[in-house]
Amino acid sequence: MNKINQHDLKDLKAAEELVAQDKSYRPLYHIAPPHGLLNDPNGLIYKDGYHHVHYQWSPIQPYHGMKHWYYLKTKDFVNYLDLGVSIIPEHEGEITGAFSGSAFETPKGVKIYYTGNIEDGMGNMLREVQISADLVDDKIVNKRIAVEHDPELFTPHARDPKIFKYQDQIYMIFGVQCQADKLGGLALYKTEDYETFVFDRILKPTLENQDYGYMWECPNLDLLGDQLLFMISAEGWFNPQDEYELNNSRNVVYTAIKSLDLEHNQLGESAIMKTMDYGHDFYAPQTYWCNNKLLMIGWLGAVDVQYPTDKYSWHSMLTIPRELSWNKNILVQRPFSEFKHNILENSKTAEIQTLKVNKALHLEFDLNDELIIEVANAKGEKLQIEFAKTEIILDRSKETAHPTWDFEGPRKALRKLHQQTVEIYLDASSIEIFADNYQTIFTSRFFVENFDEITFSKATSVTVSNVKTINYQK
């Protein structure tokens, strides 16, 4: 559990050398850590023409250790300024890690709000506090505790703050586990100046017999169109009887809300929260605004999983940015139009049944029938996507190497549309599938070594594009 400035240079060098040995699985256009473990996207904000992206980072070991923040910014999602470590956990409120948080532009500049973790040295969490800081000249400075832990209201689990404006009131919201029932809730703290925060209330579910888990991580609450989008990364909410819903180690879920029921301290949701992404590896998404578009980036990874890339001393990546909208109460997630425009090149449309590929490719096609797509290598190891009559299935069981966890197996979603547009982003060890006109999404890692061919079960008119390799400049 060392901080980055406590590691020996030889250990950092050794980690770099291990990463360089990975010739199969390092992504070409997804953000991945230089070494160590990447998880939650943090501090997302669009300002002065740049998308500012931080992420949680354990510097060397490919597992959850002492959490720092790492910082990149980009204008086009192809060329990135690598600004290095943005938070080293050195404040008294973060002695065992700088956990997730967000950015918000106030009249006095960009503020950073995040959770400081405090443990007893033996892995037992004592409390979590909400820390505020300032983003000045691409540096996070002036850390101070904004919200102390309240042990009467919350267990030690209270984290992931964001600023939310609602009915002329400014709130800090964060997810909690409530002391009263040991179930999740959304804490609201009022502020007038973005500096001083006063407890207001905890929101619980409106629908009876629903709790959405024992902890609501990474809450996002945004006014999207004429209704609120509420989403959480739910711990402890499963449904093993349903092969389509809630079958990950932790589940990202969302619902549409007309208005919060502040009178009764309830969310005001009229429909049960539902799965946001049906793939294996999607967690802790965070939203931010760019030119009146609500964008989202998620962690392309999962909790309590070991990946084949761990032996190369790196773990996980971030998703591509997605633009959010509604189709009634169903969330629509499209690849961000500017990202797509900037990163794709050499697009060609043709009738295809077999296609050669070298690590990265983009596919887009219309579908009005059943179809099977396989991404395979010469040994017959493969990833399979099946568009059946009533469901969509992603099967990574025939890979070269396999993740190690308790939630493996094919992933399924009910097929919403017979006739639909499908878009697929393929990278060296990840796939993002946008199906049902962007209403059904699968995000997964996969590990087919030296895959070189994509086959369709029947000839299909497909627009095929190359994807630019992103580059980092220090």
**What is d(CA 372, CA 457) in angstroms, rounded to the nearest whole number?**
5
Tokens of 251: 């589940």
- Residue pair 112/105 in contact by the 8 Å Cβ criterion: no
- Which contiguous run of DSSP H or E holds residue 339? helix 337-343
**What is d(CA 252, CA 279) in angstroms, rounded to the nearest whole number?**
11
User: Token pair 């969509």 is at which residue?
Assistant: 392
Q: Which of 8, 22, 40, 452 is catalytic?
A: 40
Tokens of 24: 């199969």
User: Token pair 């084949």 is at which residue?
Assistant: 308
**What is d(CA 139, CA 106) in angstroms, rounded to the nearest whole number?**
16
Alpha helices in 310-425 (DSSP H): 337-343
- Residue pair 15/36 in contact by the 8 Å Cβ criterion: yes
Count of CA atoms in the C-beta half-sphere (13 A) of 159: 28
**What is d(CA 142, CA 80) in angstroms, rounded to the nearest whole number?**
26
How far is CA 197 from each of CA 107, 166, 265, 288, rounded to the nearest angstrom?
Answer: 17, 15, 18, 22
Residue type, 473: Q
- Residue pair 363/371 in contact by the 8 Å Cβ criterion: no
Determine whether 281 is an active site residue.
Answer: no
- Residue pair 448/376 in contact by the 8 Å Cβ criterion: yes
- Which contiguous run of DSSP H or E holds residue 59? none
**What is d(CA 194, CA 130) in angstroms, rounded to the nearest whole number?**
13
Beta bridge partner(s), residue 82: 72
Residue type, 373: I
**What is d(CA 197, CA 171) in angstroms, rounded to the nearest whole number?**
8
Length of the chain: 474
Q: Which residues are annotated as catalytic?
A: 40
